[in-house]
Amino acid sequence: MGHWIAGTDRPGNSGRTAPVTDPATGRVTGAVAMAGPEEVRTAVAAASAAFPAWRDTSLSRRTAIVFRFRELLNARKGELAQLITAEHGKVFSDALGEVSRGQEVVEFACGIPHLLEGGFTQNVSTGVDAYSVHAPLGPVAIISPFNFPAMVPMWFFPIAIATGNTVVLKPSEKDPSAALWMARLWTEAGLPAGVFNVVQGDKESVDALLTDPEITAISFVGSTPIAEYVYASGTATGKRVQALGGAKNHAVILPDADLDLAADALVSAGYGSAGERCMAISVAVAVGDIADDLVARVAQRTRGLRIGDGHGEADMGPLVTRGHRDKVAGAIDIAEGEGARVVVDGRAATGTSDADIDVSQGFWLGPTLLDHVTPAMAAYREEIFGPVLAVVRVAGYEQALELINSNPYGNGTAIFTRDGGAARRFQYEVEVGMVGINVPIPVPMAYYSFGGWKSSLFGDTHAHGVQGVHFFTRTKAVTSRWLDPSHGGLHLGFPRND
């Protein structure tokens, strides 16, 4: 498969391709073209050429097209979810949930006219009016990760398009089909050619976007080292950049918590999508004397999970690639060697399939529960990005809070308690961008903004919500006066408001 530029499929011409695999079977199902600088330049040129007309398209017309895209997506989102399962490996229900959460941002963008309302002040000086408008930036780029090939791009492009920008999307080469599917859906919805473009690729295409002089802004989601690189490189060339990085999300379980609720939440948030979520809970902080009981309840639930092909009835699918599967298994090896207790071991897991297909070569790794993990261990310090839940034991609330606040990441966190005062104190004191209270994955609704603190975000603007509108627009202040023929002649002094 190739690219989508100026409203048409474009085969790759760089000569480089990457394999696309089905993680459940390990079978190569296709090849995706890797764009070189010339192909990226073609896509950016198409976005630049389309920008003036799209900027000048009425707001009513723009939002009508976004609404049409929403209707088509809602009717056919099962198709998109099937593509995600086939290339990422997450179970179908999880893929469908991903699409639905992305659709919420599309729905938010349908109401963009209200958020683009400017200000107007009459007669700031004699016969002079002042007002402000929110102007689009121009061609913008989105660089999205493998773990949410539909939802993460939809955090950005509905708002970018609705506010009058044009888009070049660079999806992950591991699961490229979702981006092309959405590009074709935009065309069906009536979006003009060149407003939404897709270039496949790797670092070479990313670097071309970061340095292209016509790209005005970059939205990125990925690991912290790459987010920092994208932010430094993009801002060095004068671009506006929002770069969302990695995470090490903690859930604090206080002694008064409902342990069944907490255990259900930890298993769901730790192992959903095989832990390949930036909002996954990867550290459970057990406070006081509840740890043994909590670990037993989590282990009992973990052992009952069904691992298998995402198209069937499994609870958890494979990891995205064999290399990533082996990396996660290696992290478990290191944790065990450093003294962590492996309560539930997923390293020998094999998957099942409800269909008559061979899954013996799939990228399987079962949910793994580690106990007695300490902050000095690699399993605590590093983002594993797999189905590994680490339990850290602390004596009290203050130690739990300090653990989170001293961590370099600040993406998401949660607390489980029946004490409203403790929850209120935690939400106020914790240094994390998104907080859940008895909610394990506090992903905000589309009208709020998604983003972390510290090394989980480079830039000062979060994704979607009002901050997303601010990111994709810039303010223009206008001062106007319509004069009668006796305008008063020359005046070289500094303008005064009389």
Cβ-Cβ contacts under 8 Å for 465 (sequence gap 6 or more): 108, 444, 446, 447, 448, 449, 450
Read off the pLDDT of residues 93-137 as tens digits, 9 standing for 90 and up. 999 999 999 999 999 999 999 999 999 999 999 999 999 999 999
Whether 278 is a known active-site residue: answer yes
Q: How far apart are CA 49 and CA 166, in angstroms?
A: 9
Domain ranges of the chain: 3-245+464-478, 249-437
Q: Determine which one of 43, 150, 278, 384 is catalytic.
A: 278
- 249-437 matches 3-245+464-478 in CATH topology: no
Read off the pLDDT of residues 413-458 as tens digits, 9 standing for 90 and up. 999 999 999 999 999 999 999 999 999 999 999 999 999 999 999 9
Tokens of 284: 């459970």
Q: Show the low-confidence residues of the chain (pLDDT under 70).
A: 484-488, 497-498
Q: Domain 249-437 classified CATH 3.40.190.10? A: no
Q: What dotted CATH number matches 3-245+464-478?
A: 3.40.605.10
Q: What pLDDT, on a 0 to 100 scale, did the predictor assign at position 487?
A: 60
Q: What pLDDT, on a 0 to 100 scale, did the predictor assign at position 24?
A: 98
Q: What pLDDT, on a 0 to 100 scale, did the predictor assign at position 494?
A: 80
Q: How far apart are CA 67 and CA 106, in angstroms?
A: 8
| Total Cβ atoms within 10 A of residue 437 | 15
Q: What pLDDT, on a 0 to 100 scale, did the predictor assign at position 12?
A: 87
Read off the pLDDT of residues 185-206 as tens digits, 9 standing for 90 and up. 999 999 999 999 999 999 999 9
Q: What pLDDT, on a 0 to 100 scale, did the predictor assign at position 491?
A: 75
Tokens of 412: 């998401």
Read off the pLDDT of residues 214-248 as tens digits, 9 standing for 90 and up. 999 999 999 999 999 999 999 999 999 999 999 99
* pTM score of the predicted model: 0.95
Cβ-Cβ contacts under 8 Å for 64 (sequence gap 6 or more): 190
